[in-house]
Amino acid sequence: MKIGVFVCHCGTNIAGTVDVERVAQTASTFPKVKHAASYKYMCSSPGQNLVKDAVKKHKLDRVVIASCSPSLHEKTFRKCVEVAGINPYLVEMANIREHCSWVHKDIEKATEKAIELVRLASAKVSRNRSLEKTYIPIEKKVLIIGGGISGIQSAIDIAFANYPAVIVEREPSIGGRMARFDKTFPTLDCAACILTPKMVTVSQSEHVTMHTYSEIEEVTGFVGNFTVKIRKKARSVDINKCNGCGA
């Protein structure tokens, strides 16, 4: 196993508070680290080329990037190492900007913390395994818990997009708290004037299924493929025969 550590100056964002050269030098002594270097802007094209060249020259199989937040450049460096021939999931980022230079004024303490973050990232990447992307079909159907105004509007929006929606409401009818109000804040508009047309729309939509007087009992599966068990409570009214007192 050969790990490469690359420390970014981020201009003066990091280098102004963290001794990046010391971080890189110390990182070179960590277990399984075969190469360590620093660069002014590691996310730039020259910085990424530095990483790619080092991977090929030193035959690295794992990479640690000490720079900014992973939310900003994790994808950047994953693509970078993938081009260099390393599995994109064998790269770890140590956030020494938001977690060090931006929250500390003492250079010594900020540098020591940065070294520890890089040490942790190096230890983690040494235990990472190669992963491969996989694509799975998802169920294009939405379950909405709660038949209040938010749930009703969500169901209407989904139905207008021609996707099926299921509303589960624990009360005998939809409408929620808004059905109890006379006016809405802050405009003092008529609550029923807003809610009633939406209730009619969602009730008549062929894309919306409603389970009133029901509760979620169990949810299994994963994002895009959930299986939900719904418990319908006993009621004294046959909803298939009920005409809403309109007879």
Q: How much of the chain, in percent, has pLDDT values that exceed 70?
A: 98
CB 43 within 8 A of CB 67: yes
What is the per-residue pLDDT for 112?
97
Residue 1 confidence (pLDDT) above 60: yes
What is the per-residue pLDDT for 98?
95
CB 14 within 8 A of CB 96: yes
Residue 241 confidence (pLDDT) above 80: no
Cα 104 to Cα 17: distance, rounded to the nearest angstrom? 7
Residue 173 confidence (pLDDT) above 80: yes
Residue 201 confidence (pLDDT) above 90: yes
What is the per-residue pLDDT for 244?
66
Nearest to 10 by CA among 55, 44, 37, 35: 44
Mean pLDDT, range 39-57, rounded to an integer: 95
pTM: 0.67
Domain ranges for the chain:
3-127, 142-232
What is the per-residue pLDDT for 243?
72
Determine which of 72-76, 143-147, 208-212, 242-246 has the lowest per-residue pLDDT on average: 242-246
How do residues 119-170 score in pLDDT, each as one tens digit? 999 999 999 999 998 888 889 999 999 999 999 999 999 999 999 999 999 9
Nearest to 166 by CA among 188, 146, 195: 146
Mean pLDDT, range 187-195, rounded to an integer: 93
211-238 burial, b for 16+ CB within 10 Å, e for fewer?
bbbbeeeeeeeeeeeeeeeeeeeeeeee
CATH 3.40.50.300 fits 142-232, yes or no: no
How do residues 102-130 score in pLDDT, each as one tens digit? 999 999 999 999 999 999 999 999 999 99
Residue 247 confidence (pLDDT) above 60: no
CATH class of 3-127: alpha beta
What is the per-residue pLDDT for 134?
87
Residue 211 confidence (pLDDT) above 60: yes
